[in-house]
Amino acid sequence: MSKNVLTLSNVTMQFGGVVAVNNLSLEVNEGEIVSLIGPNGAGKTTVFNVITGVYEATNGSIELNGQTLLSNYPKGKMKKLYAGENKGLYTKTVVKTPDQITKLGVARTFQNIRLFKSQTVFENVLVARHLRRTSNLFTATFKLNYKEEAKMRSETLELLRIVGLEDVKDEAATSLPYGKQRRLEIARALATEPDLLLLDEPAAGMNPQETDDLTAFIHDIRDKFKLTILLIEHHMNLVMDISDRIYAIDFGKLIASGTPDEIQANQKVIDAYLGVTEDE
Amino acid sequence: MLEKSKKKINLTVSTILIILLLFGLYLMELFLSPSNMIFIVLQKGVIYALVAVSMNLLNGFTGLFSLGQAGFMLIGAYTYAIFTIPNEARTAVYQYFGGGLIKFNLPVTISIILAGVMAAVFAFLIGLPVLRLKSDYLAIATLGFAEIIRAIFQWNALGPITNGSNLLRKFPSLDSTGFSKWIQKITCDIFGKTGNVTGATIYAFIASGICIAIIVLLINSTYGRAFKAIRDDEIAAEAMGINLAKHKQIAFCISSFFAGISGALLAMYQTTIQASAFKSAMTYEILLVVVIGGIGSITGSCISSFLFIAASEWWLRFLDAEKYVGGVKVPFLRSGFRKVVFSIIIMAIVLFYRQGIMGTRELTPAGVWNWFKKTFIKSAPKKSKEA
Ligand SMILES: Nc1ncnc2c1ncn2[C@@H]1O[C@H](COP(=O)(O)OP(=O)(O)OP(=O)(O)O)[C@@H](O)[C@H]1O
Ligand SMILES: [Mg+2]
């Protein structure tokens, strides 16, 4: 088996009294495309927010390539309030900020597109090269880093070419049609040089044709950038098509995991989720 | 390739324009009376332009709302004055405090830089706790800081250093620097007499110009792009690996650094300083300059700064003087009326030009040329991107 890239162990995220993610454990291995599915409000986006450090999980641990991104246990007012499982299993606290986690090789896109609104397509991607800079404030201000700057720009252009946005590079990011904005978000995430890419509903708002293109595109970038991908999606065709493995959650809890065929045949998943989406 | 040559032309044109500007200032000093209002407008205008640009770096480009500009200017002005008052003048200046505590002085340029450094150090200390909070707190904290620092500098116990609530004076002003001696000497060599030339306006322009140029370079660097990313979307910026706390701290310290320098220049312009003058009203004036010029536009801040100073110090002055036409007193014209008219004009601008004069655009030689071509030479291709 190939090596583990991401490991979540007993992760619980509790907001006040709401347990959004409950004792979730999952693994993503190198080169895999893994999907996270579940009904609305199941806690999928919250899982992403916990992995990327936007929220500090209440309990559990997360590792990336063997390095601890998070380890936490209920403390403060959560000590009393905690409604999850495995209380007392973890005793160490490790918390990393989102920017540190991105530097370690996790990049993401957002369910509600979050582009830099006042900036062009090109600038949106260019700024994501900032974290790999070797220049400091002084050399950057006085243009002593011109070689690196030129490299950043050519790499950005290359990325835009790969994702097919080269022709709109000078347009305002928000003027693009929806599908292209999603692509731009992916390009921006790729610019941070991730090992692991998290895609939150990349096909949302796309028509069937665009969705098919997206499937090919995700395969493409996985191979080209040697990525491991974890994605959240409601388009079941896409999910079943693209995934090596699938995790299904409901009310924050894992209800099933396995290959697309196994998931499609799983009664719990059909009851909680698949049955519902087919009606929609 | 084309882009590169365009950049080169832009740079050449800008350099020529700057040289022409400085030469023009020199001619003005040579031929105009030193009491001409234009010098006040130019000197104070360019100093305000610097502090407005420094505020814009924070408010317009990083999305942090700070109201501490007057406080940082005060620190800069005092640092400059304290270290440059000539030793022989200290007994007179610090007459109530036994000639003061500090018995040495530093060169003007070093003191100006030190003024910026002191302001940046204070900014760093305030930033440590405050920048981690939501950005509204920064406005409150910096406003509070500016008020407190003003009180501290007037505190008698610190008199041996700050001269308490008394004036600081006799430090080198804009027209008594090494530069002004040099330019007077050159004038004397050429024309046989120095005339009215002091180099004061040129000095203010060069000093502020260098600082503004550095800020522009910073904004156009990879750090500047990170600032803009933070302004547009903090969560996305952080997800792109931008360390929010660090970058906000950098922007805040640099903004304060240049506010400190503009404080030093203001001291040089005024020739005397007093802590009580650095009120929050001063911060609001600067904020107005930024808003009128366009939040996020450097050239906007510069243009509006000169307009603001010209209007408040010169064009609207007549409103404060009582006037009789054919024996009848003109209504309204009396001391204080200027402020009323001024406020109305500003309200009108803020109401009808939400974006300020420039919005977030910049005025560049190429932009002006394109505009010129488009307006006056109809056949020109429409390619202008900037204003
Ligand atoms: N910051 C927060 N504070 C309180 N509750 C939250 C917070 N973030 C998420 N939740 C709650 O956690 C639950 C899971 O939300 P989440 O956004 O993760 O769902 P999701 O699976 O992504 O749903 P969708 O498919 O609609 O995107 C919801 O009940 C939501 O209200
Ligand atoms: Mg979601």
Residue A278: per-residue pLDDT: 45
Two structure tokens written together for B137: 């707190």
User: From the CB of residue A261, how many other CB atoms can be counted at a distance below 10 Å?
Assistant: 10
> Taking the domains of chain B in order of start, what are their residue ranges?
31-279
Mutate to test the interface with B, among A127, A152, A192 (most CBs of B within 10 A): A127
Percent of chain B predicted with pLDDT > 70: 95
Residue of B nearest to A187 (CA): B240
- What is the pLDDT at residue B137? 85
Nearest CA in chain B to A54: B235
Q: Round to whole Å and give the CA distance between B253 and B272.
A: 26
Quick: pLDDT tens for B94-104: 888 888 888 88
Please report where in the chains the tokens 């990349």 appear, as a residue.
Answer: A202
Chain A touched by B11 (CB under 8 Å)? no
Among B238, B170, B208, B205, smallest CA distance to B19 is for B205
B230 at the A interface (CB within 8 A)?
no
User: Which pLDDT value is given to residue B159?
Assistant: 86
Smallest Cβ–Cβ distance between A116 and the set B223, B229, B238 belongs to B229
CB-based contacts of B328, cutoff 8 Å, min separation 6: none
Question: Is B306's pLDDT higher than 90?
Answer: yes
Q: Mean pLDDT across the stretch B12-30? A: 90
Minimum CA–CA partner of A48 in chain B = B239
Mean pLDDT, chain B, rounded, equals 88
Average pLDDT of the residues in A254-279:
84
Cα distance between residue B52 and residue B293, in whole Å? 9
Whether the predicted pLDDT of B10 surpasses 90:
no
Q: SS in 3 state form for chain B?
A: CHHHHHHHHHHHHHHHHHHHHHHHHHHHHHHCCCCCHHHHHHHHHHHHHHHHHHHHHHHCCCCCCCCCHHHHHHHHHHHHHHHHCCHHHHHHHCHHHCCCCCCCCCCHHHHHHHHHHHHHHHHHHHHHHHCCCCHHHHHHHHHHHHHHHHHHHCCHHHHHHHCCCCCEECCCCCCCCHHHHHHHHHHHHHHCCCCCCCCHHHHHHHHHHHHHHHHHHHHCCHHHHHHHHHHHCHHHHHHCCCCHHHHHHHHHHHHHHHHHHHHHHHHHHHCEECHHHCCHHHHHHHHHHHHHHCCCCHHHHHHHHHHHHHHHHHHCHHHHCCCEECCEECCCCCCCHHHHHHHHHHHHHHHHCCCCCCCCCCCCHHHHHHHHHHHHCCCCCCCCCCC
Residue A30 has pLDDT above 50, yes or no: yes
- Spacing, Cα B252 to ligand 2 middle (Å): 35
Distance A47 CA to ligand 1 centre (A): 9
Confidence of residue B2 (pLDDT cuts 50, 70, 90): low
Distance A214 CA to ligand 2 centre (A): 19
Residue A99 in this model has a pLDDT that exceeds 80: yes
Under a CB-based contact definition with an 8 Å cutoff, are residues A240 and A260 in contact?
yes
Model pLDDT, residue A152: 95
Which pLDDT score, from 0 to 100, does residue B386 have? 45
**pLDDT above 50: residue B189:** yes
Residue of chain B whose alpha carbon sits nearest to that of A130? B222
Q: Is A46 in the pocket of ligand 1 (CB under 6 A)?
A: yes
Task: Determine the residue type at A91.
Answer: T
For B175, the token pair is: 């027209």
| Residue A32 pLDDT greater than 80, yes or no | yes
Out of A232-241, B127-136, B191-200, B367-376, pick the least confident.
B367-376
Q: Give which of B56, B61, B29 is closest to B221, Cα–Cα.
A: B61
Task: Map out the domains of chain A as residue ranges.
Answer: 1-105+195-280, 113-193
Residue B296 with chain A: CB contacts under 8 Å: 118
* pLDDT at residue A7 is higher than 80: yes
pLDDT at position A6 over 90:
yes
CATH code given to domain A1-105+195-280: 3.40.50.300
- CB contact under 8 Å between A110 and B236, yes or no, is yes
Mean pLDDT, residues B17-34: 90
pLDDT at B383 over 70: no
Q: What percent of chain B has pLDDT over 90?
A: 53
Residue A104: both structure tokens together: 């370690």
How far, in Å, CA of B188 to CA of B183, rounded?
A: 8
- Specify the pLDDT at position A2: 74
Tell me the two tokens of residue B23. Answer: 């030469």
Banded pLDDT at A279 (limits 50, 70, 90)? very low
**Is the model's pLDDT at A178 over the cut of 70?**
yes
Q: Is B238 on the interface with A (CB under 8 A)?
A: yes
- Supply the mean pLDDT for chain A: 93
pLDDT average, residue stretch B64-72: 93
Which ligand is located closest to the Cα atom of residue A13?
A: 1
Q: Ligand 1, atom 11: nearest CA belongs to which residue? A: A20
Please state, in angstroms and rounded to a whole number, the distance separating the CA atoms of residues B51 and B72.
Answer: 10
**Chain A residues whose beta carbon lies within 8 Å of the beta carbon of residue B131:** none
Interface test with A, best of B124, B233, B240 (most A CBs within 10 A): B240
Contact B221 A141 (CB under 8 A): yes
When mean pLDDT is compared across A167-171, B11-15, B148-152, the lowest value belongs to B11-15
CB count within 10 Å of CB B109 equals 12
Residue nearest atom 29 in ligand 1 by C-alpha distance: A41
Are the C-beta atoms of B144 and B160 separated by less than 8 Å? no
What is the reported pLDDT for B259?
97
State the smallest CA–CA distance between residue B48 and chain A in angstroms: 23
What is d(CA A240, CA A261) in angstroms, rounded to the nearest whole number?
Answer: 8
Residue B381 has pLDDT above 60, yes or no: no
Would you say the CB of residue A60 lies under 6 angstroms from ligand 1?
Answer: no
pLDDT in tens, A196-210: 999 999 999 888 888
pTM for the predicted model, two decimal places: 0.91
Phi, psi for B247 (deg, rounded to 5): -70, -35
Residue A1 has what pLDDT?
Answer: 55
Name which residue leads in pLDDT, B313 or A217: A217
